[in-house]
Amino acid sequence: TGQDGELLVGGAGVFAGYLGRDDLTARALVEIDGELFYRTGDLVTMDDNGFLRYQGRKDYQIKLHGQRIELGEIEQCLLRRSISACVVSKWDDDHLVAYVQSSHVNEEQLRQHCQSHLSPHMTPSLFVILDKLPLNANGKIDRKLLPPPSFSSMHLTNNDELLLPMNETESIIHHIWCDLLNQKQISTNTGIFSIGGHSLIIMQLFHRYKIQFHFKTNSLSISSLFQHPTIIDHAKLIHQTMNVTQDINEYHWSSLYMVKGC
């Protein structure tokens, strides 16, 4: 109870295996106490009332920007936010999109929840909140019927909400962001992951910053760019890095003389 596990199906209807394909049989069936069970690949949790709650697929893994991601882990994280159902998909080989069935949460709440419990590269770029997720004849979420995501909804278009760069550093960073994210304008207080940013973009930003601001590789950590994901935040990090570098360069070192006693 309360623990995730793979759903196994047993009984008279379970087939004996694949003819001439022992490898497929070993993957699909497991023998427990002399009885064959079919491995569904579905993760479920039994609640206190004995009901099984679907938690996602065990074997649904993808690779995104060189990182291996278990979509079921993201789905389980979202389900802990007290939503009724969800599914996470990869779109355009570049973005993670979370489809959520709920009537009482918004995108920002879901994003903050994921950022608090998942690695940055596992946080979806876009959250699509639906009244009801499409189901197939077996009662499972039908990924083929999910509506295509509108990535344009991630772009800031309301000028009243637009916060412009306030200094030269923010202006330079803003130009780099617009170039990498293919945007004309980005508010300086907008989180990069809410407008299509991902781990590869962060790596590209790091290298662009290093070239533009002439700091050493080990003076700024990539993880800090993940943890502080706005233009304003990155400008502050750059200022801190440049000030530390300047202090080191301007420090006057005194000679140390060793005097040997008689």
Q: What is the mean pLDDT of residues 216-222?
A: 80
Class of domain 1-53: mainly beta
Contact between residue 64 and residue 92 where contact means Cβ atoms under 8 Å apart: no
| Distance in angstroms between the alpha carbons of the first and the last residue of the chain | 78
| Pairing status of strand 35-46 against strand 4-10 | antiparallel
The separation between CA 96 and the C-alpha centre of its own chain, rounded to angstroms, equals 7
Looking at the structure, give the CATH architecture of the domain made up of residues 60-154: 2-Layer Sandwich (3.30)
| Pairing status of strand 35-46 against strand 126-130 | unpaired
Q: Which residues contact 5 (CB under 8 A, 6 or more apart)?
A: 43, 44, 45
Q: What is the mean pLDDT of residues 75-99?
A: 87
Paired tokens of 90 = 């990869």
In which residue ranges of the chain is CATH 3.30.300.30 found? 60-154
Residue 54 dihedral angles phi and psi, to the nearest 5°: -70, 130
Q: Which residues contact 103 (CB under 8 A, 6 or more apart)?
A: 131
User: Sorting pLDDT into bands at 50, 70 and 90, what band is 6?
Assistant: confident
Contact between residue 178 and residue 186 where contact means Cβ atoms under 8 Å apart: yes
User: Sorting pLDDT into bands at 50, 70 and 90, what band is 111?
Assistant: confident
Q: At what angle do helices 71-79 and 107-117 cross, to 10 degrees?
A: 120
Looking at the structure, give the CATH architecture of the domain made up of residues 156-250: Orthogonal Bundle (1.10)
Across 174-178, 215-219, 226-230, which has the greatest mean pLDDT? 174-178
Q: Which residues contact 130 (CB under 8 A, 6 or more apart)?
A: 99, 100, 101, 147
Predicted TM-score (pTM) of the model is 0.57
The residues with which 126 forms a beta bridge, in sequence order, are 97
For 11, left (φ over 0), alpha (ψ -120 to 50), or beta? left
Across 50-59, 86-95, 167-176, 238-247, which has the greatest mean pLDDT? 167-176
Which segment of 10-14, 92-96, 167-171, 221-225 scores lowest on mean pLDDT? Answer: 92-96
76: Cα within 13 Å, side-chain hemisphere: 19
In which residue ranges of the chain is CATH 2.30.38.10 found? 1-53
pLDDT of 155 strictly over 80: no
pLDDT of 159 strictly over 50: no
User: Sorting pLDDT into bands at 50, 70 and 90, what band is 126?
Assistant: confident
Comparing 140 with 233, the larger pLDDT belongs to 233
